[in-house]
A and B are shown apart, each in its own frame.
Chain A
Amino acid sequence: NAGVTQTPKFQVLKTGQSMTLQCAQDMNHEYMSWYRQDPGMGLRLIHYSVGAGITDQGEVPNGYNVSRSTTEDFPLRLLSAAPSQTSVYFCASSTGTTSNIQYFGAGTRLSVL
């Protein structure tokens, strides 16, 4: 099993550009989440999904969209990138609410100029 796979690993965008960060998992986990990591801020939840067709906002959802059409995939869309979105983005999957142990992908390092 590959676990959680994120692409791309690195990305540089100009302000106003759009892009999609890809996330796929092969563990048949129902729950998937997107976090951003900034120095001194820990991991902050952007959006999460408890199953195909169901998504909800996390702590910092503004500027990001998500969808969950399949159990395996959970893409994160930046519609109009801003320098404040420069960060490291992690996708994670988990089995559910009773423990919610997170299995993280390798991350995407995004710079917005």
Chain B
Amino acid sequence: GQQVMQIPQYQHVQEGEDFTTYCNSSTTLSNIQWYKQRPGGHPVFLIQLVKSGEVKKQKRLTFQFGEAKKNSSLHITATQTTDVGTYFCAGLPGNTGKLIFGQGTTLQVKP
């Protein structure tokens, strides 16, 4: 079936270091979304990418959508302790309205 793979599963960084998580889909996606879940909380929508090769920025966060619309990445520059949480990508395949979530990357930041 359709899958969205996300790596790494866990990442521990020192505060101030950069962080990147990657998503790869087995099929072409209509769009890809990113969510953040704080410890003990629920996923919260961050951003949606729709166009091939699209790049969007939110302060220290940079989101990219691949040219083939099968992969995406989230890069955080100079991590802070407030960045702690699990980041999920979620892809919307072109032939269905069902979002498929990646497994998530849990980020720990040491102060």
Contact = CB atoms under 8 A, between A and B. Distances in A.
Interface of A: 31, 35, 40-45, 48, 50, 58-59, 90, 96-97, 99-107
B97 A104 contact: no
B85 interface: no
Interface in B24-56: 31, 33, 35, 41-45, 48
Question: Interface on chain A toward B: helix, strand, loop, or mixed SS?
Answer: loop
Contact of A103 (B9, B45, B90, B98): B45
B97 A97 contact: yes
A45 to B, nearest CB: 6
Contacts of B35: 102
A90 B41 CA distance: 10
A50 B103 CA distance: 25
Contact of A104 (B31, B42, B98): B42
Contacts of B88: 42-43
Contact of A100 (B6, B97, B102): B97
Contacts of B97: 31, 50, 96-97, 100
Given A100-B33, A102-B45, A104-B44, 4 more contacts: A43-B88, A44-B101, A90-B42, A105-B42
B64 to A, nearest CB: 18
B92 interface: yes
Scoring A41, A42, A100, A106 by chain B CB atoms within 10 A of each residue's CB, the highest score goes to: A42
A51 to B, nearest CB: 12
B61 interface: no
A102 B99 contact: yes
Contacts of A50: 97
Scoring B31, B42, B43 by chain A CB atoms within 10 A of each residue's CB, the highest score goes to: B42
A7 to B, nearest CB: 14
Interface in B1-37: 1, 6, 9, 31, 33, 35
Interface in B73-111: 88, 90, 92, 97-104
A58 B101 CA distance: 12
A97 B92 CA distance: 9
